[in-house]
Structures are given as C-alpha cells and as structure tokens.
C-alpha cells in the first residue's frame, strides 16, 4: 500500500444525483458549454486531483431523469480543457466495441501530445443495444466476446503507440534527414477482430502511451483489467466488497507474473459534505425530495432483475440469487453483485436500499462533515481496501467544490494526499510509468 491515495473525479452532466439538474441554481443550461467543463477542471486541479474523467454513451440516455446526460464528445472536450490546465490528468471514455484502434490511437495520442503527457483512456465495451443500433449492429455481442475484442483492441493500441519512437524525429536540416526510419516500424497485426499494418503517423508521447483504465467489476472485466490496464474504476458499497475485489485483482495479476504489479483500484465514492452533519443531510434530502419513491423502486427492480411487489418496505430484503440464475437480464452485473453482497452483509430493508439509489447504484455514499468524510476515506485506504477513490459528486460544481475546499485540506494535513503535483505527466503522478 502506498503512502498517499490517488483521487480522480467523474464529470457527468450537473452531477451524479438524477435530480441534480432540478436545483434552482443548477448549471443544466450550461452543460453544452465548454466553459462549464473547464470550470470544473480548474476546481479539480486546485485540489491537486490526479485526473478528471468523462463518461460517455453512444445513445441518448433512457434513465428517465428528465435531462440530457451526455452532450459534448469527451476527447474534444478534454482537448479544450487541456488548454486552460497544466497538471490535471485527462481521461476520456471510449468503447472498444465501436471504435477502430488506429483512429482511437491517433485521437487519444494527439490529446496526449497536446496536453504534454496528461491523457488517459477509460476503455468500456458498452452496455446497451441502443448503442449498438447506432453502429450498424442489431444488438451488442455477448459480454465475453466484447472483452476479448477489448483485449485485442488494447494490444493494438500499445503496439501502435510504440511503433513510431519520438527519437526518430531528428530533423537534420543540413543533411536533409528528418526521420530515422529504423525507429519507425510496422506492427503487422492480424487478429480475430482487427488487421492493422501500422506504423501510426504520430510519434510516441512523453508517457510512451496514455494511461489505460477500465470501469466495472464483472469477471470478464476483471480478467481484462488484470492483463491490460493501469487503473480500475471499481464498484464497492462497503469495505468487505472493496477488499474482496482488490484481493481478487491481486491474485489474477500474480498469476500473470506481471512485473509492474496490479492496476490501481479506485472505487466510486459519492460525498455529501457540509460544515455539519445536519447540513449535509439537508442537502441530500433536498435532492432526494425530487425523486418519487416509485422511481427508486423501479430502478431497484431494473438492477436486480425482478419485481419487489409485495415486499414489506421495512422488512429485510430477501436473499438474491446468483447472477447466473437470474431469470431476467440486467444491464450491469457489477451493480447487481454489489447490491446482492450488501443485502447479505448489511441486512438492508427495502426502505434502506431505496435510500441508496439516489446516485449510481452500487457505489459507496457518505454524508457528513469534512472530518467524518476524511476519516472514512483514510479508513478504507489504510485498511487496504483501495488505492484511492473515484469521486462521483451528487452535484457540480457546488458539492464537488465543497469536497475540494473542505475535505482535501484535511487529507493533505494528514499526509494522505499530495499538496502539489510532483510529476509532469499523468503516469508520473499515478506512479505507473512505462519502462
């Protein structure tokens, strides 16, 4: 376990709470303006966070929240953000199911050059058939197949990013030799999903190649992450879930005999923080007041693949079957397993479960004053539940800024988080440099 935690933040619309846009002073009218995204990035950089990352979907969200979840394309947005920031890492979500590796390598590689080595890529395999239908498919391929394709996708990306060594650019004006061609090589990849000759027409970046990330905790996702990425955005409702996942990734990585060790693991964390516990609870209650309890029940039913009709609201939720025995398909196995494990370990009532679905289900939520929040983060970190956290603020920018201004200084004072950036690239700040 390292001495200091890593913290990144997801930027998503006006916040992760589905009613965040309905607050009187929300920024819902500005989510399509780059200045809004840049404002959040500046706040993150002020707090010395490792990175921000942008979620993405290839469809109009059907979460029935009443507002538009996705607006600007992530790589374009982060390129604009790179011009008004100096240190913060910039991670774009990209689907290996839909993207071609050569184009993806150029896009993310260009962001890495433009930002002087601060780029990262969150590789997803997509979740919804609605996305597939926007890419000449009738439905998504099976999960295992999508991850096999993702593994090959990353393999090709790494080959391409290293096919044109930046030292090949000699630019000798007198001799007329601009390129040392011995340092530029074809990759001649022929796989099950891609055929790519190479080399890429982009020299390697200061990081050699951008930071590779993955989100989720499914079994195929764990296999993929253990082999291919530097950092995992995981799902854990409690310490037991977090420890179980970390140990599993450690075991998988050890079996691969990877010299660089396991990926960093940063579970999602939603924080409602204010000067007092009472005020923090009031802020959460104000958001929850916009959500009809029936909508919460519907969200629970969609997540667990069954109806809760007839369940006593104040009785303990009955045990859920294993994922492979579900009669109805659910979108997220990671979310289902997080709910199932939490019900088993915490004996939640349906009412208590409903209270936890205000943000993205499955992730840890904490409500409290700054010390309470910092204590919880320190406890998880020092008990080796994680390497840090992926912040999922319920509202942007106010609740995010409250975390930066009230919690980060406490973590810094305790020596748990940096007071200044020491590296010049995202890899250096994450301490996962390519050898």
**DSSP code per residue over 188-199:** -EE-SS-EE---
> Do residue 137 and residue 224 come from a single domain?
yes
Domain end among 303, 326, 357: 357
Given a contact cutoff of 8 angstroms between Cβ atoms, the answer to whether 59 and 128 are in contact is yes
Helix (H) or strand (E) holding 264: strand 264-273
**Within a domain: 70:** yes
**Within a domain: 285:** no
| Nearest one of 129, 128, 188, 182 to 156, comparing CA atoms | 188
Taken as a whole, the chain contains a residue count of 435
> Do residue 325 and residue 191 come from a single domain?
no
The four Cα atoms 185, 92, 385, 297 give a dihedral, to 10 degrees, of -140
**Within a domain: 193:** yes
Given a contact cutoff of 8 angstroms between Cβ atoms, the answer to whether 269 and 390 are in contact is yes
Say whether the peptide bond before residue 346 is cis (omega within 30 degrees of 0): no
**Within a domain: 14:** yes
| Nearest one of 200, 249, 266, 237 to 2, comparing CA atoms | 266
Q: What is the pLDDT of residue 342?
A: 77
> Do residue 176 and residue 318 come from a single domain?
no
**Within a domain: 284:** no
**Within a domain: 286:** no
The four Cα atoms 427, 428, 429, 431 give a dihedral, to 10 degrees, of 80
> Do residue 304 and residue 418 come from a single domain?
no
> Do residue 374 and residue 339 come from a single domain?
no
The answer on whether 175 is annotated among ligand-binding residues is no
Extended beta strands in 283-363, E state: none
* Helices within 98-231 (DSSP H only): 101-114, 129-132, 143-161, 219-228
Give the CATH number for residue 415.
3.20.20.30
> Do residue 46 and residue 101 come from a single domain?
yes
Tally the domains of the chain.
2
CA gap 132, 296 in Å, rounded? 27
The answer on whether 165 is annotated among ligand-binding residues is no
**Token pair of 220 as six digits:** 């195929």
> Do residue 179 and residue 328 come from a single domain?
no
Residue range of the domain that includes 67 = 6-277+361-430
The answer on whether 223 is annotated among ligand-binding residues is no
| Nearest one of 300, 298, 274 to 287, comparing CA atoms | 274
CA gap 153, 124 in Å, rounded? 11
**Within a domain: 142:** yes
**Token pair of 140 as six digits:** 């998504």
> Do residue 43 and residue 183 come from a single domain?
yes
> Do residue 221 and residue 343 come from a single domain?
no
| Nearest one of 276, 287, 242 to 388, comparing CA atoms | 242
> Do residue 381 and residue 269 come from a single domain?
yes
**Within a domain: 1:** no
Domain end among 302, 334, 357: 357
Q: What is the pLDDT of residue 362?
A: 67
CB atoms within 10 A of CB 109: 25
> Do residue 272 and residue 343 come from a single domain?
no
CA gap 226, 154 in Å, rounded? 12
CA distance to 10, 28, 261, 272, 325, per residue, from 19 (Å): 17, 11, 40, 14, 33
pLDDT tens string for the chain (435 positions)?
468 999 999 998 899 888 899 999 999 999 999 999 999 999 999 999 999 999 998 888 655 566 677 789 999 999 999 999 999 999 999 999 999 999 999 999 999 999 999 999 999 999 888 899 999 999 999 999 999 999 999 999 999 999 999 999 999 999 999 999 999 999 999 999 999 999 999 999 989 999 999 997 888 999 999 999 999 999 888 898 899 999 999 999 999 988 778 999 999 999 999 999 999 999 999 998 887 777 778 878 888 888 888 888 888 988 888 887 887 777 677 678 778 877 887 888 888 787 776 555 668 999 999 999 999 999 999 999 999 999 999 999 999 999 999 999 999 999 999 999 999 999 999 998 776
The answer on whether 276 is annotated among ligand-binding residues is no
> Do residue 92 and residue 63 come from a single domain?
yes
Given a contact cutoff of 8 angstroms between Cβ atoms, the answer to whether 398 and 20 are in contact is no
Give the position of tokens 């200061």. Answer: 206
Q: What is the pLDDT of residue 345?
A: 79
Domain end among 357, 389, 408: 357
């Amino acid at each position: 376990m390292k001495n200091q935690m890593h913290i990144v933040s997801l930027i998503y619309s006006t916040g992760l709470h589905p009613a965040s846009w309905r607050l009187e002073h929300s920024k819902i009218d500005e989510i399509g303006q780059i200045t809004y995204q840049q404002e959040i990035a500046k706040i993150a950089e002020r707090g010395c966070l490792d990175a921000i990352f942008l979620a993405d979907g290839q469809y109009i969200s059907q979460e029935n929240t009443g507002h538009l979840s996705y607006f600007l394309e992530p790589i374009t947005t982060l390129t604009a953000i790179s011009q008004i920031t100096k240190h913060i890492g910039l991670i774009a979500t990209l689907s290996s199911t839909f993207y071609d590796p050569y184009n993806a390598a150029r896009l993310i590689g260009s962001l890495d050059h433009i930002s002087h080595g601060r780029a990262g890529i969150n590789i997803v395999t997509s979740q919804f058939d609605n996305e597939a239908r926007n890419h000449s498919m009738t439905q998504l391929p099976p999960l295992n197949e999508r991850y096999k394709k993702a593994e090959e996708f990353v393999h090709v990306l790494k080959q391409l990013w290293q096919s044109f060594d930046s030292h090949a650019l000699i630019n000798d004006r007198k001799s007329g030799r601009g390129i040392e061609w011995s340092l530029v090589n074809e990759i001649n990849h022929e796989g099950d999903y891609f055929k790519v000759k190479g080399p890429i027409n982009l020299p390697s970046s200061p990081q050699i190649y951008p930071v590779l990330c993955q989100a989720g905790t499914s079994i195929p996702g764990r296999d993929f992450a253990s082999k291919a990425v530097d950092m995992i955005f995981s799902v854990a409702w409690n310490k037991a879930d977090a420890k179980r996942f970390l140990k599993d990734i450690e075991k998988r990585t050890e079996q691969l005999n990877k010299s660089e060790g396991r990926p960093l693991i940063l579970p999602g964390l939603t924080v409602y923080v204010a000067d007092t516990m009472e005020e923090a609870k009031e802020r959460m209650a104000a958001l929850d007041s916009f959500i009809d309890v029936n909508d919460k029940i519907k969200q629970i039913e969609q997540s667990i693949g069954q109806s809760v009709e007839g369940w006593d609201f104040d009785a303990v939720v009955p045990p859920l079957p294993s994922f492979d025995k579900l009669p109805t398909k659910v979108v997220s196995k990671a979310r289902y397993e997080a709910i199932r494990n939490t019900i088993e370990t915490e004996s939640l009532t349906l009412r208590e479960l409903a209270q936890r679905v205000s943000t993205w289900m499955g992730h840890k939520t904490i409500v409290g004053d700054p010390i309470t929040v910092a204590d919880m983060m320190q406890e998880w970190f020092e008990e080796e539940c994680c390497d840090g956290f992926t912040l999922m603020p319920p509202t942007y920018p106010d609740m995010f800024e409250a975390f930066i201004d009230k919690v980060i200084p406490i973590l810094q004072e305790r020596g748990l988080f940096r007071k200044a950036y020491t590296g010049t690239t995202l890899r250096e700040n994450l301490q996962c440099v390519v050898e």
